[in-house]
Amino acid sequence: MFQAVLFDWDGTLADTKAFVVAAFQRVLRKNGWEVDNELIERCMGIGPRNTLKEALCVIDVAFDDDLIHRLEAEKVAVQLATTPSVRLFDGARSLLDALQGKVKTALATMSNRPVIDQLLAEKGIGAYFDLVLTFDDIRRPKPDPEVFLTCAARLQCLPEDCVVVEDSVFGVEAAKAAHMSCIAIPSGSYSREELKATGADRVVTSLTATRELLAFILQE
């Protein structure tokens, strides 16, 4: 049985693809730039700054840290105004409820802290987590394992006693680099085949596969 479950947020617990893409596109278009939605979708998981850098590189726009930080702040403002559009995936709340009192739980997301704090409060699920780490709490975003290793240390668990629940190849890569087990769910922008090829230990259809998820996590 694992001692801790570390959840990603975007595309894993919450259906945020349209929410995230719309925020980035609104900021980019405000500045006269245009990128394909798919580029942003495929960058979900690497953090807002790296997503902005990828977008600007593709359209050959020069940037510096000041520009990236300004665009990031604008993106956060857009998201804070539109959080009611986000919904939890079916099965998310029931899975979190089933894990209560059995394992420690953490949220390890590359979204910004103000956005996550507002979403957790709105959706009424903040109390499920023993720890919440965001992009603003770390130095190196996924696929670097820092966020997962930090979670394990703060929860006082060994990495091998943790299991990560993710939807992106970046998250799976980070989990495996941290020497953690990983359950992947193709509910974001990556297919079952891509997630499995990246090293996921188990790929499940959705969070509604509660029995399968609990059997893997609790080793029942």
CA gap 79, 85 in Å, rounded: 10
What type of residue sits at position 3? Answer: Q
CA gap 108, 15 in Å, rounded: 16
Select from 34, 20, 27 the least CA-distant residue to 67. Answer: 27
Active site annotation includes 8: yes
Strand residues in 86-141 grouped as ranges (E): 87-88, 104-108, 131-133
CA gap 87, 151 in Å, rounded: 25
Select from 20, 44, 17, 12 the least CA-distant residue to 206. Answer: 12
Tokens of 97: 């409820």
Q: Is the peptide bond before 141 cis (omega within 30 degrees of 0)?
A: no
Tokens of 92: 């998310």
Report how far Cα 11 is from the mean position of its chain's Cα atoms.
7
Annotated catalytic residue, options 8, 10, 144, 167 = 8
Active site residues: 8
